[in-house]
Structure 1
């Protein structure tokens, strides 16, 4: 099959990167070009080659997206492909971060709700993921797909097993009001975390199988196996979900039914900066404590060798001490004789010179 567009097209991966770099969804591109979402997905995955008038329009859109791509530091400020986006001025890091947050955070909160079934936890993990992105923003801004990076971090945090030990998350939250939504959420939460993540990415977000495998850090056959088993488990609980299109519609409906609002991007950035300051000061305080303890040890430690004191030992061979008692006749006679002597003692005996 030959390519019939007059303008050369970039590689499939570059097509997707250009779309996401300008904060465009597949639905928005499809609506602009007058094609279906699946067609745009096939063009970006390389399964189909754009041809005819649709291919020419697609090539023109990509060319327009390419021109400002090298002068921006992140996703464009608006969700649509209007003329103002193509002529946008270079963004500051804060503006680029706010644009990415405004584009991704609302949908990401709904996706993490499908993973956890907890509204507060969904907002918390999304904010945490964006705070980590802001800490590493010079690196994230140069990533070809920053939205996927943030999504992977949010999913990892949402599925962490340590949340079960937190007191506020030991008790379940009120389920959705709609009985059908309650049944679907219960069936989702019964899946293993890896299966749940795969089905949300493929049937909820709309990623293709290689993208789902890459984001779940699995091979494509493993991702396909997880998806198959997840669909079978959901269909066993809710037979109407055997149709993938119905499953996609129900997942979107469940996520949209809950009023989940993300915090403002400025608040997320400020909280992230405060968290950085806190942990930086804590690290400095810990380092100073270690240095002080080491210095005190060096100052008080002995500078020469002192042999240890030998342990005490019992003295052997000492006669037992005699106990006091009555004097014998000889001792009484000696005592009387000593008392009769003068105080100065007996007279000195003169030597006999003879």
Structure 2
């Protein structure tokens, strides 16, 4: 059960990332499209979606930003870019001269980050999803794959169906997404549930996910949002903490991660755990680039304060990977996820139909039993049928006046007034 969009658009997170990568403000984007800044903000947060000509203009602008981004390479990477991005937000004044020890530390940190960046470009999970991304794009144009002909492009066979492309994405992404979500929440059951809900939502909106430049990022953002929802605190199962990891070092690292604020924890996990770049991390966390850089630096300082061995970013990246791989968290089969998602959609669809039918029935019943006409309000003093007349003092008739006069004359010849006498 899928929905077909008009013009394909990137995810809200990707829209924000493209704008931030080109150093554009929401006001500038709004002026180019012809809308207000609040409208662009709601598009980037996912609260609303553009329609009609505005959607086409927004899609062309995002495509232009994407092409420009691929043509131009960033000038600085790693710790240097992180420091440059965080510098203006951390202090408005120029930084004082560093000592020899600080300079050596910065140099060593930059070298470590360069090494991690190179390893990230070859071993990143996002790089491995390129094949799945191509399959999803091919499947987007074939619908469910029923009756699809061969691909007219040379060297291409019949495109894979949407089901096969979804299963390929799930098989590649679900296992490590569950482990990443476990590091984010510290709860195994919640991690599995979050990834399942995210893939169910992805299957429901598969035409949108299939044409997304990074479908794994789309699912990861949905899983993280669900996992970090504050409403989970009201669940009875959330009151009891999960069993800690078996290894003592893993327990200490997990305790440090859980002690961080949720926004810092998520940003650190995306940058040092998953291996995203700074603009992508800022876009996925819906924060500005300086704010994301500050969160990463403060989170690293908090981790290094309690675990000095992880002061080097490369060591922190390695330990996060080991901690995630130490947990044997298996995701259910993709068939079960798709079936559960479709069952939930059918349930809520039938519930909405039932509620709508109930409202229509109650409305018809009310119109049936309601009176068709109303009696006008009687004027003041007008007699009302079946109601006795109003009693009380009124004007005397001629007969009443004659009777009163007769009584007064008859009483005038009566006895004198009696007065008491003393004995």
TM bucket normalised to smaller:
0.5 to 0.7
Q: Which residue of structure 2 aligns with residue 96 of structure 1?
A: 165
Contact 1:114–1:255 at 8 Å: present in 2 too? yes
Give the CA deviation at 1:73: 2.2
Give the CA deviation at 1:185: 0.7
Q: Distance in 1 between matches of 2:290 and 2:325?
A: 31
Q: Which residue of structure 1 aligns with residue 293 of structure 2?
A: 224
Q: Distance in 2 between matches of 1:243 and 1:88?
A: 48
Q: Which residue of structure 2 aligns with residue 275 of structure 1?
A: 344
Q: Structure 1 residues 121 and 313, CA, compared in 2 at 3 Å: closer, same or farther? A: farther
CA deviation digits over 1:305-333, x for unaligned, max 9?
2457999999657xxxxxxxxxxxxxxxx
Give the CA deviation at 1:38: 3.2
1:116 aligns with 2:191: no
Contact 2:135–2:159 at 8 Å: present in 1 too? no
Q: Which residue of structure 1 aligns with residue 117 of structure 2?
A: 38
Contact 2:135–2:165 at 8 Å: present in 1 too? no
Contact 1:203–1:244 at 8 Å: present in 2 too? yes
Q: 5 Å matches for 1:182-331?
A: 182-306=251-375
Pick the aligned partner of 1:73 from 133, 139, 149. 139
Q: Structure 1 residues 307 and 241, CA, compared in 2 at 3 Å: closer, same or farther? A: farther
> Which ranges in structure 1 are unaligned for 5 or more consecutive residues?
1-9, 16-35, 44-63, 75-85, 318-354
Contact 1:115–1:197 at 8 Å: present in 2 too? yes
Q: Distance in 1 between matches of 2:136 and 2:193?
A: 33
CA deviation digits over 1:161-187, x for unaligned, max 9?
000101112110111111111111111
CA deviation digits over 1:26-52, x for unaligned, max 9?
xxxxxxxxxx87347669xxxxxxxxx
> Which ranges in structure 2 are unaligned for 5 or more consecutive residues?
1-66, 73-114, 123-129, 141-154, 379-383, 394-423
| Aligned structure 1 segments of 4 or more residues deviating by more than 3 angstroms | 10-15, 36-43, 68-71, 86-89, 306-317
Q: Distance in 1 between matches of 2:162 and 2:256?
A: 41
**3-state SS in 1 of match to 2:138:** coil
Q: Distance in 1 between matches of 2:323 and 2:246?
A: 10
Let me know the Cα RMSD of the aligned residues: 3.1
Pick the aligned partner of 2:221 from 142, 147, 152. 152
Q: Distance in 2 between matches of 1:179 and 1:40?
A: 28
Give the CA deviation at 1:220: 0.9
Q: Structure 1 residues 201 and 118, CA, compared in 2 at 3 Å: closer, same or farther? A: same
User: Which has the greater radius of gyration?
Assistant: 1
Q: Distance in 2 between matches of 1:313 and 1:166?
A: 68
Contact 1:152–1:215 at 8 Å: present in 2 too? yes
Q: Which residue of structure 2 aligns with residue 50 of structure 1?
A: none
Give the CA deviation at 1:11: 7.1
Give the CA deviation at 1:14: 9.0
Contact 1:72–1:89 at 8 Å: present in 2 too? no
Q: Distance in 2 between matches of 1:228 and 1:274?
A: 44
Q: Structure 1 residues 312 and 211, CA, compared in 2 at 3 Å: closer, same or farther? A: farther
Q: Structure 1 residues 232 and 306, CA, compared in 2 at 3 Å: closer, same or farther? A: farther
